[in-house]
Structure formats: C-alpha cells, structure tokens
Chains A and B, each alone.
Chain A
C-alpha cells in the first residue's frame, strides 16, 4: 500500500468523524464518557508523537547536540504556551532543525 492509499483512508476516516453529529447521530446523544475520552485523546496522542519522534530523531546525536535540541524544544513549548501561535511554532521548529544540521552537526 503506497502513501496515497494511506492518506485516502485517513481522509475517509476524518470525513466520517466530521459527519458523525451532522448526519449519523443527534448531537445530544454524545455519551459523557465518550466526550471525556475525546478531551484526553488529543493531548495523549500529541505528547506520544512528540516524545517518540524526539527520541527517534536524536538517538544517535552527541550529548551536546541533544542538550541544545531539548533546550530549543523547551523554549518552543514555552513560546507556544504564551503566544498560542502555530505559525511561530512552525518557524521555530524549522529554525531549530536548520541550526542543528547546518551549524552543530556539520
């Protein structure tokens, strides 16, 4: 199965999610237990993606590079919490990757 087929399945999954309370289920039928799980699903998945991704990316790095990368990511988290700007997070993340690969690792 190639990348396009995977993304098509993901697209259908997301579309069905969006249709749920518009076509399939009346919105007042949302069980409280399910809505509780929904609240926790996003932070849990996002945190899992961050930690697994960071560990995988930096596994082979020197300790000094790891410290710089973790420092940058901590800073990005602080900026994201203060400014709530995804644009800023995107720019700082790209800058961190460029800093490490072009200045520290080479």
Chain B
C-alpha cells in the first residue's frame, strides 16, 4: 500500500518528463523501439536523454556511455546510502533490486527507514516496478504523440530545458557552480573542434575546475 502511495506521489513528474522524453526521442534517429525499451532498461531519464542526444549527434560509444554514466554519477552515492538495507538480502534481490535505484525510489525509501528484510524487499520491488510501469507508459505515450506533431527544429530546446531543471538544484555549492560555468564555456568551443567529443571535453574541464576550486577552499 505504501509502495502504491509513493508511486502515485511521483507520477505527475514522471508523466511530464517521460512524455517529453518520448517526443524528443521520436524526433531522433534512435528508433521508437529502442527509445521505448530504453525506458525500463536504462531506468534513468537523464542518462537516456544524454545518450539519445549524443547518439543523434553522431558521438562514439565511449563518449555516449561516459556521458550517461557521468550524468548518473549520483547513483553511486545512492548505492552507498542504500547498501546497508541491501546487505542482508538474498543475492537475487541485490542484483535485480539495484536496477531500481533512481532519484524517486531512493527518496521514497529514505522516507520509510523502518522497513527491512522481506518487508523492504516487497516495498522496494513495488515502488521500483510501479515507477518503471508509469515511466515506460509515459515515454511510450510521447513516442506515439511525437510523429503527429508538426516539424519542430527547436524541439532539442525541450531537452535543454530538462537538463536545466536537473542542473539548477546542483548549483548551490560554489564548486558546483564553477564546474558548470567552465563546462558550459568549454563544451560549445570543443564541439566546434571535435563535434563528437565536445560534451565530454566540457565535462572534464568542469570537473577539473570544481576539484581545483575545492582545493582552494579553506577546510572547515
């Protein structure tokens, strides 16, 4: 019951993001089947959007995977935070359940700290499966709506808006701001030189700037 309630709470955000992602994917060369299967398999809108955008721009496999993984780097932190609740679970659950780690499921589970053992398994699979179902339906809806829309050369701006929505909460720290500013400045310039590596070059420069600024900050 708690799992259903938690899935319902995140459904509006999942629907709008998923439909927009589906419409964007429908306008690319990725393919509808790949776009739809990607929803439950990648199980991360930001990673799928990054991978789709870069694939459409002709980027190589390494750039696509590195960018998608980097966008999802926070999953490592979620993985570390959820590890104690997964540690005494059967191996099958660790392998399958880990796939459902994402922003919504992590935050939902953190709000229910009392659940452990079989109780946690049932809750986690319910939330993860429910989010996957809503997410896949939303992306599928966007994919079927996309071809009926008129030609929209500026549709990639919808992706940029989504990325902005994910970026702004990460700009609270000065180091995060430095990383973003340097990355935003370097990426378009690098894209002019090597189109398929622009995003990766920008991201690397941004991470370097963030680390350099962190070193200069006095220890607290």
Binding site for B on A (CB under 8 A): 1-4, 6-11, 13-15, 17-23, 26-27, 30, 35-58, 69, 72-73, 76-77, 80-81, 84-94, 96-98, 100-102, 105
Contacts and interface: CB of A to CB of B under 8 A. Distances in A.
B157 A42 contact: no
B158 A10 contact: no
Contacts of A52: 187-188, 191, 198-199, 202
Nearest to A99: B154
Interface in B8-30: 12-13, 15-17, 19-20, 23, 28-30
B179 A4 contact: no
B95 A19 contact: yes
B210 A39 contact: yes
B153 interface: yes
Contacts of B201: 48
B116 interface: no
A96 B157 contact: yes
B71 A42 contact: yes
B170 interface: yes
A66 to B, nearest CB: 11
Interface in B161-212: 161-171, 173, 175-177, 179-188, 191, 198-207, 209-211
Given A39-B173, A93-B162, A9 B79 contact: no
Contacts of A37: 73, 207, 211
A30 B72 contact: no
B64 interface: yes
B210 A44 contact: yes
Interface string B138-155: 000000000000111111
Interface stretch (B48-56, B107-115, B129-137): B48-56
B115 to A, nearest CB: 16
Given A18-B98, A44-B182, 20 more contacts: A6-B51, A6-B61, A14-B68, A30-B76, A37-B73, A41-B73, A44-B70, A45-B71, A46-B46, A46-B71, A48-B184, A48-B203, A51-B187, A57-B156, A58-B154, A72-B157, A76-B161, A90-B165, A93-B159, A94-B158
Contacts of A11: 38, 41-43
Contacts of B86: 22
Given A45-B67, A57-B154, A101-B152, A21 B162 contact: no
